[in-house]
């Protein structure tokens, strides 16, 4: 089983240096992939209320605990507060709802999924829309949402709290207005959007960065993203007896992030976690840097009108 490094976060908690992403992983596929991931050595599972798979993730984890493969304290479970629960009055309710979905007493990390909020039109109405089809944004300040999240730690509902998709200004503002410091910023990060400036800032602020979409949502039919199908990256991989995907994940890890690749395929689960026995050269890094276009896979354009939209500045 791969020897995955463990990272100590600013509140003393520890997180494995790679995890399993579960976005778009649903039903039986999700449950099976989480079981397979645990069997393959994964001890960090990432999901969100928005993904609508917390029940499946929880069932797989509980089954592996029952089988004696893991204890609860062996597995690092991350979930996220969705945008329509940003009203401080709804934060504890939302967290408890996620815990009920999981069938667990606590999560290890609870993240604010986005810095902006939506109005609440029902727990399952993830994108509440106006008559004209626009998503109905709320004007709740993420600082107020954060203050409600801080209470969850005292209640024992989550060990730690953090954010996702926050830009440099939002992080600094939150840090100057919080009682409990976030431990984490989860962001889109892959060779096409390598986020080096934001990663450097997070390091300076003592925040761990998790990379979602680390492989850039591969599409073999279209041979995208280019860095996964480029003969040069495959050539780099051959040098270390690794695949292009393993090269990409290693590049991100060496840039200082915790990648959470998503797959439901057993052999890819094993491949993605097997990235801690080689190191890329400076020349390899230089080549991987050439793919950085800054283009986002998930721009969330519908929230452009929010004063808390995070992608209006460089990082």
pLDDT in tens, 149-200: 999 999 999 999 999 999 999 999 999 999 999 999 999 999 999 999 999 9
Q: What's the pLDDT band for 28 if we cut at 50, 70, 90?
A: confident
Average pLDDT value for the chain: 97
Residue 32 pLDDT greater than 80, yes or no: yes
| 123: β partners | none
Beta strands, E only, 57-177 = 76-81, 107-112, 117-118, 137-138, 158-164
Pairing of strands 258-259, 208-212: parallel
Question: Which residues are known to be catalytic?
Answer: 51
pTM above 0.95, yes or no: yes
pLDDT at 257: 98
Q: What is the mean pLDDT of residues 62-86?
A: 98
pLDDT confidence band for 25 (50 / 70 / 90) = confident
Residue 1, pLDDT score: 74
CATH T-level fold of 6-218+256-265: TIM Barrel (3.20.20)
How large is the average pLDDT for residues 115-135?
A: 96
In the predicted model, what is the mean pLDDT of residues 271-284?
Answer: 98
Element (H, E) at 94: helix 88-102
Per-residue pLDDT at 31: 96
Residue 2 confidence (pLDDT) above 90:
no
Confidence tier at 114 by pLDDT (50, 70, 90): very high
Percentage helix, strand, coil, to 5, in the chain?
A: 40, 15, 45
**Residue 95 pLDDT greater than 90, yes or no:** yes
pLDDT digits 0-9 by tens, 187-225: 999 999 999 999 999 999 999 999 999 999 999 999 999
pLDDT reported for residue 256: 98
Helix (H, G, I), strand (E, B) or coil at 46: strand
Q: Spell out the domain ranges in the chain.
A: 6-218+256-265
């Amino acid at each position: 089983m791969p020897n995955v490094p463990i990272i100590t976060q600013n509140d003393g908690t520890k997180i494995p240096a790679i995890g399993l992403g579960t976005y778009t992983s649903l039903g039986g596929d999700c449950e099976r992939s989480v079981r397979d991931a645990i069997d393959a050595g994964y001890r960090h599972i990432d999901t969100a209320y928005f993904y609508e798979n917390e029940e499946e993730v929880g069932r797989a984890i509980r089954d592996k605990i029952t089988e004696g493969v893991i204890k609860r304290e062996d597995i690092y479970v991350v979930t996220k507060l969705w945008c329509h629960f940003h009203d401080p009055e709804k934060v504890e309710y939302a967290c408890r709802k996620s815990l009920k979905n999981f069938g667990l007493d606590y999560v290890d990390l609870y993240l604010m999924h986005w810095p902006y909020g939506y109005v609440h039109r029902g727990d399952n109405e993830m994108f509440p829309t106006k008559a004209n089809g626009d998503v109905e944004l709320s004007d709740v300040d993420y600082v107020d949402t954060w203050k409600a999240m801080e209470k969850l730690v005292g209640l024992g509902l989550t060990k730690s709290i953090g954010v996702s998709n926050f830009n440099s200004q939002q992080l600094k503002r939150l840090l100057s207005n919080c009682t409990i410091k976030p431990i984490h910023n989860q962001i889109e990060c892959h060779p096409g959007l390598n986020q080096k400036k934001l990663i450097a800032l997070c390091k300076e602020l003592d925040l761990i960065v998790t990379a979602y979409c680390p492989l850039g949502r591969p599409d073999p039919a279209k041979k995208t993203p280019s860095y996964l199908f480029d003969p040069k990256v495959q050539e780099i991989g051959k040098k270390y007896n690794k695949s292009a995907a393993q090269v990409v994940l290693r590049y991100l890890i060496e840039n200082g992030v915790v990648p959470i690749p998503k797959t439901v395929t057993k052999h890819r689960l094993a491949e993605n976690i097997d990235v801690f026995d080689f190191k890329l050269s400076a020349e390899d890094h230089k080549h991987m840097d050439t793919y950085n276009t800054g283009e986002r896979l998930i721009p969330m354009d519908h929230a452009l009108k929010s004063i808390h939209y995070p992608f209006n500045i460089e990082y």
